[in-house]
Structure 1
Amino acid sequence: MAANRDQAGEWAARDLLSVPPRWVEGDSAKALSGFTDASFDYIFTCPPYHNLERYSEHPDDLSSMTWARFERAYRAIVAESARCLAPDRFSTWVVGDVRDSAGRVRGLVPLTISAHRAAGMHLHNDAVLLNVIGTAAMRLPAQWRVSRKMGRIHQYVLTFVKGDGKRATSALPPFT
């Protein structure tokens, strides 16, 4: 969080922020319900990738849910975030895919896109974020030999628009 605040300070010093950002941390299902419709100008999130990393054993923690329950909760969170987003604005979700216990890809990226569509938003941009390879180069040959599964060293940056993309763009400060 400190790095985010430092970067916001740098942006403000360069007149790249019309208003200071407000970070909302916590359980999205609960936190979003406290906001009125259209109260956000932008949403940026990197939600849990189902159970790839376990954050707690709490039953309402997305990382401890079954896939079916995760999918329902995730769709509800996307819908709530869309409700909170002002018209003609953007929302960016950084997501990666995960596998089930049998090694099959779950489809978190298509779920994210589908949930946004159901909430009235559309995919505006996508990008691949390459992570540091780290130890993947050492782990992957053995994984490939036994399963023909590639390791993931990337995430997807999905930007959605609520309303019109051109109006959403014109609502932003000028790009310099």
Structure 2
Amino acid sequence: MTGQLTLNRLFSLLLRVGLFGVLWWLLTEGQPGAWWVGIPAVLLATLVSLFMVPHMAIRISALLRFIPFFLRYSFAGGLDVACRALHPRLPITPVLVDYSLKLPRGLPRVLMMNMVSLLPGTLSAQIDNDVLRVHALDGNSDITRSLETLEVRVMELFSLALTPITSERR
């Protein structure tokens, strides 16, 4: 188990260095001369990110299952909004839905809130304590069920047990 934990931490570190490196490369339009500033900037950004967003173990098998889920819902969400926008009668029945989050605060909850926008016709509008307010274009759809499905996927990704939030956790 300790070896797996160390491997996860190494993967997290390398992923951060890689993401910041790609970001630097994009910002400098791939100019090789920019790396004399870029290498220290990437290392500093990585160090700061380790303090600001602590490591959370992500199961690789869950990540591999999450990617097709992400792609499918991303495509479906874009297609849904495009069809509604191009429809002559603009078929929308907007509604705000309050959803009680069961995920712990931190990275899992942030990922969940950002992923809500991928669900067809939905957008995270506000969070207040453990309640996420979601704006939906179609009040007739089962938004709560979609949110529950997404929350379970995020839970699996971070190897978390999905338990209702009690007043002691607030």
TM-score range, shorter chain: under 0.3
Query: Normalization by structure 1: what TM-score?
Result: 0.22
Please identify which structure carries the higher helix content. Answer: 2
- Structure exhibiting the larger radius of gyration computed from Cα positions: 2
Pick the structure with more strand per residue. Answer: 1
What is the TM-score when the length of structure 2 is the normalising length?
Answer: 0.23
